[in-house]
Amino acid sequence: MRIKQILTIAAAAGFGAFVPLAWVEADSGREVATFDEINAQRINIVEPDGKYRLVLANSARYPGLFMAGKEYKHHSRSGGGMLFFNDEGDEVGGLSYRSNTVGDKRAASASLMFDQYKQDQTVGILYNEANGNRTAGLRVWDRPDASIQPLMEMSDRAARASSDAEKQRIRAEMLAHANAHGGVGAERFFAGKNAKEAIVRLADQEGRPRLLLKVGTDGMPSIEFLDEGGKVVKRITS
């Protein structure tokens, strides 16, 4: 079916007003349309074989988890945004924004994530806010070598659970599986700010902070060395 016919059918079905300004027959024989504006709930950028390369979607049409081109339902993902895919049909990160206000309580977040191969995010730029407490910065995580696909399968089961109790049981199963296969990952690096300080934080392989570079609310810089329990064993100030 030609693209012009597809757009006409979509418009007739109530998916939006597709009014092309111009149609161009490219040298390759492809039809190229130019629009002033398009309203869409989801846009899929696909490879010639149909595999996703990029998906932009609202919260209602946002995709689940993907591995090797197969989609699994996410047990807790919400919000819309953009999802990236690699050559093998795995999701490899994305861009998302969220906000929520209930009474006088509010929360907001934004993130740009990049995933380790066959695993969860390994680099991210994040902003989070809850009732005036804000953090923002660049984060780097260690992730295990084991594939995350079994956890995707469990997430799909949790999303389809018939009760909250069953969902919680599957979530516990997910955590146990992760811990048995290298853990859930550890944050090794953070550079950014919280509500009070600008921070560079370096952690060991267990995710325990061991070195902090800070500028506090008083404007004074410091370097702190911490032991495994989080106790400051040496502090350098200007």
pTM for the model:
0.81
90-137 tens-digit pLDDT = 999 999 998 988 888 899 999 999 999 999 999 999 999 998 899 999
pLDDT score for 76: 81
Tokens of residue 157, six digits = 């089961």
Phi, psi at residue 186, to the nearest 5°?
-135, 140
Residues 130/136, Cβ–Cβ less than 8 Å: no
Report the length, in residues, of the chain.
238
pLDDT score for 15: 46
Structural domain boundaries in the chain: 1-39
How far from chain centre, in Å, is Cα 120? 9
Q: What is the rounded CA–CA span in Å between residue 162 and residue 166?
A: 7
pLDDT score for 8: 43
The ranges of the chain with pLDDT < 70 are 1-29
125-160 tens-digit pLDDT = 999 999 889 999 999 999 999 999 999 999 999 999
pLDDT score for 30: 77
Which residues, including other chains, have CB under 8 Å from residue 42's CB and lie 6 or more apart? 55, 56, 57, 58, 61, 62
